[in-house]
Each structure stands twice: as structure tokens, then as C-alpha cells.
Amino acid sequence: MNEKIKLALGSTVDKISFSGAVSHHSGKVRESFVFDENTRAIVVTDRISAFDFILGTVPFKGQVLNQIAAWWFRKMDGLIPHHLISTPDPNISLTKNARVLPIEIIVRGYLTGTTKTSSWYAYQHLNREICGLTMPAGMKKNQKFTAPIVTPTTKPTEPGAHDESISREEILSQKIIAPEIWEKCEKYALKMFARGQEIAAERGLILVDTKYEMGIDADGNLIVIDEVHTPDSSRFWIADSYDARFNVGQEPEALSKEFVRSAIVDRGYDVDDADADPGKFLDDELRAEASARYIELFERVTGEKFQFPENLDATVRIEGVLDRFSSPDLAE
């Protein structure tokens, strides 16, 4: 175990205390602070979620997610419009404010997964149907689709509610999103996924599937928000070993949060038990291993060396940066 990861197990970024924003939204992983009509600061904490539960924290996870998302957003410049303005802190992104669309766009390149909204679960339990699409017969787990598929899910608004798969037809018939906006959502998602797979392949990785979120900015434009191709939103496999492991029925080598999901299931969590608590399976050994994998993926994708912070108590540093944001000089 990396000594810095071990030392950081007791000083991860969980709660952020800051009251200088116009409004504040706390998500599973991110704390979002709105400063005006156009600008918000997003703090990426070290919290880790899976199966729609917050499991606990993983050292340096927030820094990895924030920096790798920023790296990918810059790779999308000129391809799609997005929310990122700058990253004034390893855990903070300054972004355009946006009205979040109530649908998450999932693009899947492979038949896989462990959750009840995964393509593999649908293949086994839902007659090969997912989001109004029928997947081909005779496929094996972790097999590549002929072409990527778009499988949206709802964004739950009630405490304890879970993501639910939804079809394109349902989105349009229920008027959740206007047809012209949804068409752009699908177009942006497939363009980003294709670019992501291309860049991942150059680095010996497979971008398996991913989640995108989008919103409408102050000018009425559709923009990509939240995160792009991070270990939380995406599944990455090691390309060199994929074929050999697939041919003998082994799980691919993974560098993403899927490692945590699989480990928790292997330790006894039942995804069909609504009363089960997956968080009890996240011990310090798994937290440290997850941290090492997050860092490895950051370095492998970006080609940069991960910079550990000098002060492991990042919460104080983050709150200090937010204090500066609340001043009248924010725009500068």
C-alpha cells in the first residue's frame, strides 16, 4: 500500500462547510455552490457511491476525478460545448451554471455490468431488452456490441430513490425533454464516446461504457456538465488482456469503480436485496486499493504523474478557495 494513501485514510474529503454561495446542492459525490446566474463551483469530494448508495470515502478520489474530468473536457474542446471554465484547485472546477436535464445518457460499447440498470442484468433478466432496445441473441458477458447503444436512465429526485432505465420513446412521449434537445443529447454523447474510445485505445485501454449529464446554460444552449470519462462515470478495461480473458470467461482487468462494485458483490452484497447495505463491505483495504486504481487510471489516461497534495487535510484548503470565490472579484 502506498504510504501516502495509507496516511490519508483518516483525512479524506467528505463534508464541506461553506455558506457564501447563493445556493448549494449536495450530491452523492459533488458539492455544488452557485454564485450567480452564470457561475458555480463544483467540489469533488472523496465520497464513493455504488448501487445508488454512498459507501464511504476513498483517499484522493476527488482530486483524481476533478483533474481527469478537466483533462477530458479539454479534449472535447471544439467537439461539443461544455461547462468547464477552470480548475483553481485540485478538487474544484469553476463552471458555467446550467439547468440540469432530468435524464442521464448512458452509452454502452460492451455487454457487461453488475447493477440492476446494467446491460448484462437486462440481458439475463429482462428478455435482452434495455431502454426499448433488444440486444442480439447469443452474446456473452463482456462481449462488444456491433455499435454503441444509448440507454438513458432517470435521475431520482426523492431520497432513497434509484435510477431507472427509460426509453427514447418514453422520454419524448412523456415530454421530459423536447425532441430537438434529445436529438442533440444523443449526438453529443455518441461523439464524445467515439473520441473517448479513440484516446483510450491509444493508451492501451478500452472505454467500455460511460454516463453523461447535460444541461441548459443561461443563454439557452445545451452543454455537457458534471464529468466526462472519469473512473466514476465510466468503465475502463486493460486492452492487452481483454481477448485472452474473454475467451476463457474471466472478467476483464478493470481500472474503474467497477472494481469496487465487483469486490462488494464478491464479498456478499445481494443487488436484489433492497434492505442490504453495500457500505459495510468497504473496509480500509478496499478503500486503499480503490485509491491506487484511481491514481493508476489518471496517470495512464493523461500521461501525467499524479501529484499528491503536501497537506493531506485538503478540506481546509478547499474551503479557503471557496471563500475567495464569494468575493466580488469572482469574475476576475
- What pLDDT score does 160 carry? 57
Query: Is the confidence at residue 296, as pLDDT, over 80?
Result: yes
Query: Is 331 a member of any domain?
Result: no
pLDDT band of 257, cuts 50, 70, 90 = confident
- What pLDDT score does 311 carry? 81
Total domains present in the chain: 1
Query: Is 39 a member of any domain?
Result: yes
Q: And the C-alpha cell for 52? A: 445508488
- What pLDDT score does 131 carry? 96
Q: In this predicted model, what pLDDT tens digit does every residue of 26-37 receive, in sequence order?
A: 989 999 999 988
- What pLDDT score does 222 carry? 98
Query: Is 330 a member of any domain?
Result: no
Query: Is 332 a member of any domain?
Result: no
Q: Tell me, yes or no, if the pTM score tops 0.85.
A: yes
Contact predicate 30/63, CB 8 Å: no
Kindly give, in sequence order, each residue whose CB lies less than 8 Å from that of residue 78, ignoring residues fewer than 6 positions away. Answer: none
* Proportion of the chain in helix, strand, coil states, percent, rounded to 5: 35, 25, 40
Q: And the C-alpha cell for 212? A: 453523461
Which CATH number belongs to the domain containing residue 32 in this structure?
3.30.470.20
Query: Is 299 a member of any domain?
Result: yes
Query: Is 166 a member of any domain?
Result: yes
Query: Is the confidence at residue 332, as pLDDT, over 60?
Result: no
Separation of CA 293 from chain center:
15
pLDDT band of 158, cuts 50, 70, 90 = low
- What pLDDT score does 194 carry? 98
Domain that holds residue 208: 3-325
